[in-house]
Structure 1
Amino acid sequence: MQSISLEAVIAITERSKRTWWRRIAEQKVHRLAKDAGGRTILLFDDIVRDLCIRLDDEAKALLFLADAGHAEAQNEVGQLFLAAEKPEAAVYWLSAAAEQGYADAMQLLGGCYAAGQGVPKDLNLSLMWIAKAAAGGHVIALSQIAGLFPFRSVAQ
């Protein structure tokens, strides 16, 4: 019996918090005990028909790891949703990983802000996340920053 947080359910189903609370109240969805972090937990089997993309067994395993707070899994799940053209769900997972300092997620999240993909376009936040990734040594982010600020050596 797999479980998942209400916040993750909202992201991966593209349904509102209000909708899920109504379904809980109507007993169409099983609400389990809150987790150690105080999050509302639901039975995964009750929400699977509402997923906004198909998930194979490997992707489901990643999803459960991501919901448990593993940054690398959050980044991978974010990429799954980006590839499936579900940017709002992708941003949810990329933000979670980026907040934990995961450089790949920071760089991807910066790209989402630059393009207005899943979030309102915001070049300041884009630059912030890409710069954070670059500060962590992310090769693509370093290249992006270098492209923005092509300083030349005085010796040239």
Structure 2
Amino acid sequence: MQSISLEAVIAITKRSKRTWWRRMAEQQVQRLAKDAAGRTTVLFDDIVQDLCIRLDDEAKALLFLADAGHADAQNEVGQLFLAAEKPEAAVYWLHAAAEQGYADAMQLLGGCYAAGKGVPKNVNLSLMWIAKAAAGGHVVALSQVAGLLSSNKPLAH
């Protein structure tokens, strides 16, 4: 019996918090004990039919690690959702990993903001995340920053 946080469920199903609380109240979804972080959890098997992508056993294992807070797994799950063209779910996981200082997630999240994938397009947030990734030594982000600096375009005030 695997549990998953309500926040993760909202991200990977594209259903609202209100919908999930209603389903718990109607006992369509089993609410479990809060996790160590104090988050509401539900039974994973109860939400499978609502997932926005199909997950194999390996992807499920990564999802549970990501939900437990492992930055590398969060980054991998974010990439999985990007590849499946579900950028809103991807941004949730990439942001979680980026907040923990995971440079690859920072660079990918910056790209999402630059392209408006899963989030409103925001050049400032794009530059911030890519610069943070570059500061962490991410090779692609370093190249992106170098390209920006060599373009001789003035930065917006």
- Relative to the length of structure 1, the TM-score reads 0.96
- Structure-1 residue corresponding to 2:28: 28
1:106 is the counterpart of 2:106? yes
1:134 is the counterpart of 2:134? yes
Higher mean alpha-carbon deviation, 31-40 vs 100-109, is at 31-40
- Structure-1 residue corresponding to 2:41: 41
SS of equivalent to 1:39: coil
SS of equivalent to 1:144: helix
Q: Percent identity?
A: 88
1:121 is the counterpart of 2:114? no
- Structure-2 residue corresponding to 1:61: 61
Separation in 2, partners of 1:51, 1:95: 20
Separation in 1, partners of 2:7, 2:61: 17
- Structure-1 residue corresponding to 2:155: none
- 1:151 CA displacement: 8.2
Point out 4+ residue stretches in structure 1 off by more than 2 angstroms.
none
SS of equivalent to 1:27: coil
What runs of 5+ residues in structure 2 fail to find an aligned partner? 153-157
SS of equivalent to 1:42: strand
State the superposition RMSD in angstroms: 1.1
1:145 is the counterpart of 2:150? no
Separation in 2, partners of 1:103, 1:73: 13
Give CA-to-partner distance per residue, 1:109-156, whole Å, 9 cap, x none: 00000000000000000000000000000000000000000189xxxx
Q: Which residue identity lines up with residue 17 of structure 1 in the other structure? A: K
What runs of 5+ residues in structure 1 fail to find an aligned partner? none
Give the total of aligned pairs.
152
- 1:9 CA displacement: 0.2
- 1:36 CA displacement: 1.5
Q: Which residue identity lines up with residue 149 of structure 2 in the other structure? A: F
